[in-house]
Amino acid sequence: MKISLISGSHRKNSQSTKVTSFVQGILEKKHGIKTQTFDLGEKPLPVWEPGMWQKDSEIKQFWKTYSNGLTESDGFIFFSPEYSGMASPALKNFFLFISGADFAHKPGLLFSISSGRGGAYPISELRSSSYKNTRIVYVPDHVIVRNVEKVLNDVNAIDEDDTMIRERIEYSLAVFLEYSKALQTVRSSGTINLQKFGNGM
C-alpha cells in the first residue's frame, strides 16, 4: 500500500508541514506504509490554466513530472491551513490539476490546521467542492489540529490537548487505512467506467 500526503500551506517550514511529517512518521513507523509527500510550500504549483487540457502543453508536461507516483497511491491525506476561514488556495489549485484516474474511488482524509480555535471551515469547503470530478471518497472522519503551535512538537505529548490530538490522529489514520484496503476491491471490481462517465454531475 502507498499513501500520498499533500501539505497545502503556501509557506516553507509551515505548521502544516510539521503535522504532515508527524502523520508520515506514524504511517511509516507504526503501520509500515510507503508514503510520498507533496509540499505545496516547498514546491509550489503554477496557477492552473486550460493548457492542462492539451496533451503536449508545457504545463501538462510539468504536471506529469511533478505528480510522479501520485496515480499509484491507494489513498490521500490532505493538510490545509485555514486562511481567513477558507481552505488553502494552493490546495484548491492542486485539485484542479487532478483527473479521475488519479483519485477516483480512493479514500481521502482531511486535516485542517489552525493557529487558534478555528479550523472547521476548510473541512466543509473541501468536502463540498473537491470531489465532483476527482471522484475521491472522503472518509467520514477528519482531524482539526487547533492551537497547532502548541502541539505535536515533541516525541511525547506535553499536556492534555497534545494527548487528545495524538489519539484522534491515531484513530483517524486507522480508520482511513481500512478504507484504503476496502476501496481496492471497488476499483478492481470492473464496475468503474471513467471513459464513459469521466465527470461527476
Second-level CATH architecture of 2-52+65-188: 3-Layer(aba) Sandwich (3.40)
How confident is the model over 9-45, as pLDDT tens digits?
Answer: 999 999 999 999 999 999 999 999 999 999 999 999 9
55 pLDDT more than 90: no
Mean pLDDT of 58-62: 95
Please choose, from the candidates 200, 76, 60, the residue with its C-alpha nearest in 3D space to the C-alpha of residue 139. 76
Q: Where are the domains of the chain?
A: 2-52+65-188
- Phi, psi angle pair for 107, to nearest 5°: -80, 150
Give the mean pLDDT of 101-109: 95
pTM listed for this prediction: 0.96
pLDDT digits (tens, 9 = 90+) for 164-191: 999 999 999 999 999 999 999 999 999 9
Q: Give the CA radius of gyration of the chain.
A: 17
Assess contact for 143 and 112: CB atoms under 8 A: yes
Residue 28 has what pLDDT?
98
Rounded (5°) CA angle 23-67-60: 155
Distance CA 95, CA 82 (A): 17
Pairing between strand 75-81 and 34-39?
unpaired
